[in-house]
Amino acid sequence: MAGKKPLVYPYIPNSAPIAKAEMLQAVGAKSVDDFYADIPASLRLKGKLNLPEPLLSEAELIRHVDGLLNKNKSTRETLSFLGAGCYQHQVPAVCDEINSRGEFLTAYAGDPYEDHGRFQALFEYESLMAELLNMDVVNVPNYDGFQATATALRMAVRITGRTKILISANIGVDKLSKVREYLKPDIAIEQIPFDLKTGLLDLSALKAKLHAEIAAVYFENPTYLGLLETQGRQISTAAHAAGALSVVSAEPLSLGVIAPPVDYGADIVCGDIQSLGMHMHYGGGHAGYIASPDDPKFVMEFPSRLFGIAPTIVEGEYGFGDVAYERTSFARREQGKEWVGTAAALWGITAGVYLALMGPQGMVEIGEGIMKKCRYAMKKIAAIPGLKVIFADTPHFTEFVVSFDGAGKTAAAVNQALLERDIFGGKDLSAEFPVLGQSILFCVSEVHTQADLDCLTDSLKEALQ
């Protein structure tokens, strides 16, 4: 080390030798090692960490990371029809502008005085979602739609004092996996089959399984397979008749045209807000919402922060703060409701920006537009000999299932053939829903043009030759 100039790191102001020496002297330490006196020798790392040589300058770092990212091919460079829980939509530039602002991006847990803006923006997010959902209580986002479902069901268990859940079997396996693990060990899950003709919940099977120990009936709208559940009212009524709650996961982007679940009897509504202004981020853009009636029976069971509005000592000022904070694990550790912690607040702010930009008209137009484009793709594909759109007579929102059994092709082979034509096909369902045979879940959104959809149809025709 002799003669070598110590490295001063731009992210570490006091790595400058002058500051370091002054501070050591001020605290009466010979070296920084003095501070670690409590750490026994047996625990001290011998030598240094075996990490790659650092890239100290921005130029080197950019070159390295670009080199890695350039091995990716994005949906900007290809046509993609992938959905299945993560959705490609246009993200308005203003969404990115707001969530990139350092005031929001780098803030954390400030109180309502230094971080009034964060509180107001998240209160507004809750309020905008509430209009979409036609409900009076919405949480500050939790991690993702999977967590939202899992927590909504635990809330239902606490509210009803019962410990069994009925779940529609048309749920995706990943979400079911999360929910199962989260409801262990005290809550039992039973799946209700779906009708193989319509893809929708089998009502008679549901009624046969409802009894006095059921806390909640859970279904999705649209379902994982893209279908709009038309029996929401009957399902909720049946659940209520047995003293159970109706818990519904809804895609918020559909709610400009689709009725909010509370209108057909849902008690707790949950889901993911990735579609509302978040990029896909390779699956890293998720956040969850939970909504309920404004009834303490429900409100007191939320684990999440709930930001509310209140007056200040100055007339005309809006103040914000935590509603019913004592229910949280921050206040009461294991006596609180589940837990609360850092989750996905910035995505909540972003979703608020998105809804404000879209307005009522935008939400109606995007819903109608997606349904038109989806229907068009279904129609074109159904016309290809050998292909069948499964559940074609049930209403769809943004996704639909195509069976390739009649064409004698595996879903994997079809997706591979599409990939060779520079198209990301849909989600291969053959392992997840064997009952649907060799089938693919395609997703169509507002970003697709007629030419894109015709290109998919033509490419499928070629792939089948």
Partner 1 sequence: MKPIAKKPLPRRFQQARWDEPVIFELSQPGQRGVLLPPVEAGIQQEVGNPAQALPAILRRKVPPTLPEMSQIHVLRHYARLSQENLGMDLNIDIGQGTCTMKYSPKINDQLARSPKLTELHPLQDPATVQGILEVMHRLEGMLKEISGMERITLQPGAGSAAIYANVCMIRAFHVGRSEDKQRDEVITTIFSHPSNAAAAKVAGYKVITLYPDADGYPDLQALKAAVSERTAALLITNPEDTGIFNPRIEEFVRLVHAAGGLCSYDQANANGILGITRAREAGFDLCHFNLHKTFSTPHGCGGPAAGACGVNAALVPFLPIPTVEFDGRKYYLDYNRPQSVGKTRPFYGVTPNMLKAYAWIMSLGADGLREVAEIAVLNNNYLMKKVLEIRGAGVPFAKGKRRIEQVRYSWEQLTRETGIRSEEIETRVADFGMHYWTSHHPFVVPEPMTLEPTESYSKADLEEYAAMLKQISDEAYTNPEIIKTAPHNSTVHQILHEPFDNPDEWAVTWRAYLRKTGRKKG
Assigned token pair, 442:
């395609």
Compute the least distance from the CB of residue 387 to partner 1, in Å. 17
One of 160, 169, 207, 325 touching partner 1 (CB under 8 A): 325
* 5 part of the interface to partner 1, by CB under 8 A: no
Nearest CB to partner 1, comparing residues 212 and 451:
451
Compute the least distance from the CB of residue 193 to partner 1, in Å. 22
Phi, psi of 369, deg, nearest 5: -65, -45
Site for partner 1 in 351-410 (CB under 8 A): 352-353, 355-369, 371-376, 379, 395-396
* 137 part of the interface to partner 1, by CB under 8 A: yes
Phi, psi of 159, deg, nearest 5: -70, -40
The CA dihedral of 214, 215, 221, 224, to the nearest 10 degrees, is -70
Contact 305, 328 (CB under 8 A): yes
* 347 part of the interface to partner 1, by CB under 8 A: yes
User: If we measure between CA atoms, which residue out of 236, 187, 246, 237 comes closest to residue 213?
Assistant: 187
Q: What angle do CA 185, 189, 190 make, to 5 degrees?
A: 150
Contact 159, 297 (CB under 8 A): yes
Residue type for 110, please? G
* Rounded distance between C-alpha atoms, residue 207 and residue 426, angstroms: 34
Q: What angle do CA 231, 220, 349 make, to 5 degrees?
A: 130
Compute the least distance from the CB of residue 181 to partner 1, in Å. 5
One of 218, 307, 391, 433 touching partner 1 (CB under 8 A): 307
* Strands, E assignment, 323-443: 388-390, 399-403, 423-424, 427-428, 439-443
* 237 part of the interface to partner 1, by CB under 8 A: no
Compute the least distance from the CB of residue 397 to partner 1, in Å. 9
CB neighbourhood size of 399 (10 A): 28
Assigned token pair, 258:
């689709």
One of 188, 259, 413, 455 touching partner 1 (CB under 8 A): 259
Site for partner 1 in 21-80 (CB under 8 A): 22-24, 26-27, 29, 32, 34-40, 42-45, 48-56, 58, 61-62, 64-66, 68-76, 78, 80
Assigned token pair, 389:
């759109």
Q: How many residues bind partner 1 (CB under 8 A)?
A: 216
Compute the least distance from the CB of residue 437 to partner 1, in Å. 19
Query: Given the rule CB under 8 A, which of 194-202, 204-212, 242-250, 347-355 is the region that contacts partner 1?
Result: 347-355
Cis peptide before 222 (omega within 30 of 0): yes
Residue type for 294, please? D
Site for partner 1 in 273-302 (CB under 8 A): 279-287, 294-296, 299
What spatial distance separates the first Cα and last Cα of the chain, rounded to whole Å?
69
Compute the least distance from the CB of residue 244 to partner 1, in Å. 20
Nearest CB to partner 1, comparing residues 117 and 406:
117
Nearest CB to partner 1, comparing residues 186 and 212:
186
* 132 part of the interface to partner 1, by CB under 8 A: yes
Compute the least distance from the CB of residue 372 to partner 1, in Å. 5
